[in-house]
Chain A
Amino acid sequence: MAAPVLCSGCPQRCWALVWVYGRCRHRRGAPVGSTCNWMRGQSSVAQQPLHTARKPRKGEPEWAAVVGLEIHAQISSNSKLFSGSQVCFAAPPNSLVSFFDASLPGTLPVLNRRCVEAAVMTGLALNCHINKKSLFDRKHYFYADLPAGYQITQHRLPIAVNGSLAYSSCAGTKQSQMTTRTVRVKQIQLEQDSGKSLHDDLRSQTLIDLNRAGIGLLELVLEPDVSCGEEAATAVRELQLILQALGTSHAGMAEGQLRVDANVSVHRPGEPLGIRTEVKNLNSIRFLAKAIDYEIQRQIQELENGGEILNETRSFDYKLGCTVPMRDKEGKQDYRFMPEPNLPPLLLYDTASLPAGADSQQVINIDQIRERLPELPRVTRERLVQQYGMSWDHSFTLLNEVDLLAFFQNVMKETRAEPKKVTSWVLNTFLGYLKQQNLAVRESPVTASALAELLDLLDSKAISSSAAKQVFEELWKNEGKTPAQIVSEKKLELMQDQEALEQLCHSVMQAHPHVVMDVKGNPRAINKLIGLVRKATLSRADPTVIKTILERKLSS
């Protein structure tokens, strides 16, 4: 089990809580048969024993890596998948547990409509085919946090199949360089979550909290179309944003609402796929990428040294930055899948097949759900690029930060300034300040209205760009002053008095005749004059206006 391995790393405090997400090594969403598909591969090259790796041909890349992701997303719902107990993150142990969740005899599963809708929404958003008929099965194994001794899942016929998840691959620095990659979604199935185990090695016991037992999960099985840690991380990030946009899952990895297992194997190009290992205990996107890349390198090194890869489950030790084998005492698991006898097939309808006079609470119309799908991140980004002329990179950043898009849109609503200006201020200045002080958008001392007002002042040329930055810094101090107040207090207004400015230009020209001479020979020297005038105005004059006046005077 994972816990002993983790515990051996930490000094004495074994009683200190080591949460293990139940059945680390039991979580196999894909049917056992899928292993064989992997190993068969699609190559026409004759099978070679995998442990005698052949030397690469000249000019050929040495190794190809293949990563298959299995993702479990906790469904965002009020109650659990098959019972009416509450879904809530932190609560007193075993307080959110119904008789069914505790697997007391005589209890029966009753399917939660919201969970089915969440599954259909997610399937549609990922371009899946929604199975109008899907079935529930029991997957048997013994573990203390699974009181029934089986998990209700969808093994034979899941609710959605054959979809795709599009994500952009390392966009690079050029704005135009945004290549889209796709990873195929093999299937999406509904299943129960297990309870939580707290390992107490000191007293040789495990404490069980069933609050999580029975919460609805969406298991998403992706095809092995990903080839490195960065791609996996980007794909998972995009999935996270999609689930959050749909509202079907909060998808927080740190909170355990999104769990990712990676199946990793390497092979020589043109040869069949290699033996895969399963990497678990990945609780952040960063570690996901690190763990996958480490495992790929480990396998390559092992094979190049003439060793072989075991089909095992490994855990990522984030302190050491490496994967370690999890003790797998039982060998291959036989889950004894059988149909769930207490649940009839789940039937879904579309507008064409909807039975007449059906109770709307008892039927689910796929077409209706499709119509109500919210805007997906990909579409939002495209819209931002079209509507505001921003770059793809900008649109990514706007969506990547919680509440940042809403902030941006609120500023846009209240300001006259150009979108490009607003984009630049929000993504550079505003975001910069937030990051520096490690604040969320929600915690920002500067409101969207305040920034909008500031940008209006800038837009109407009441203040200069550098003055605006000063005002922003003052606003960040959150002393309750408006931008206009700060401007007047600090006397940051641009000089509007044309005559006074003309006078200043005149006196500067008088005071620096040699510079004036330079300009006659070298037009670029006018910048020096502009600089001198600006200093004289204490930076309260618009350089372009100064330039115009100077040029007029110089030519006369």
Chain B
Amino acid sequence: GSGRITAEMIEHLERLALVDFGSREAVARLEKAIAFSNRLHAVHTDGVEPMESVLEDRCLYLRSDDVVEGNCAEELLQNSHRIVEEYFVAPPGNIPLPKLDEQEPVLHS
């Protein structure tokens, strides 16, 4: 089994993945998922090359350098909530997440 996840770790993960661990249940689920994955350690892997990709025996297909796509700005822009002329509109830069001590405590007892 593994230890509990600290609040700092949760905050870090939330920033990295932009996921909101809003509740104690979510954190508990995360802990269970980690415990489940840790069972991999039971397998003896000394001296074994890790498999990085299930595709490792496949041939990487090489495409010839021709222009065959694009020219669909209208279609793509339809997906966007806001557009200005032919640009996608996004918020300015990265919106900073509030710091740990600035937020409401996430972990409810």
Contacts and interface: CB of A to CB of B under 8 A. Distances in A.
Interface of A: 1, 3-4, 77-79, 83-86, 92-102, 104, 110-116, 135, 140, 142-144, 156, 197-201, 204-210, 329-330, 334, 336, 339, 341-347, 361-362, 364
B92 A95 contact: no
Given A113-B63, A345-B53, A83 B69 contact: yes
Contacts of B76: 94, 97, 99, 102, 210
28 contacts: A79-B65, A85-B67, A86-B67, A92-B73, A93-B87, A94-B76, A94-B77, A94-B87, A97-B72, A98-B70, A110-B61, A112-B63, A114-B64, A116-B62, A135-B53, A140-B16, A142-B18, A205-B89, A205-B90, A205-B92, A206-B91, A341-B55, A344-B53, A344-B57, A344-B59, A346-B60, A347-B59, A362-B59
Nearest to B64: A113
How many B residues touch the partner, as a band?
35 or more
Contacts, number: 155
Nearest to A85: B70
B40 to A, nearest CB: 16
Nearest to A334: B16
B71 A84 contact: no
By secondary structure, the B interface counts as loop
Contacts of B79: 102, 104
Nearest to B57: A344
Interface of B: 12, 15-16, 18, 52-53, 55-73, 76-77, 79, 82, 84-94, 96
A88 to B, nearest CB: 9
Among A3, A339, A344, A361, the one with the most B-chain Cβ atoms within 10 Å of its Cβ is A344
A364 B64 CA distance: 12
B54 to A, nearest CB: 8
Among B59, B61, B66, B73, the one with the most A-chain Cβ atoms within 10 Å of its Cβ is B73
A531 B66 CA distance: 69
A361 B70 contact: no
Contacts of A3: 93
A110 B63 contact: yes
A555 to B, nearest CB: 77
A339 B56 CA distance: 11
Nearest to A347: B60
A96 B70 contact: yes
A117 B58 CA distance: 20
A135 B52 CA distance: 9
Contacts of B84: 205, 207
B12 to A, nearest CB: 8
B19 to A, nearest CB: 12
A378 to B, nearest CB: 28
Contacts of A339: 52-53
A208 B63 contact: no
A86 B94 contact: no
Among B15, B53, B62, B86, the one with the most A-chain Cβ atoms within 10 Å of its Cβ is B62
A113 B62 contact: yes
A374 B29 CA distance: 59
The 4 A-B residue pairs with the shortest CB-CB distance, nearest first, are A144-B90, A85-B70, A114-B65, A98-B69
A302 B54 CA distance: 52
Contacts of B90: 144, 197, 205-208
Contact of B65 (A95, A113, A156): A113
B62 A361 contact: yes
B62 A111 contact: yes
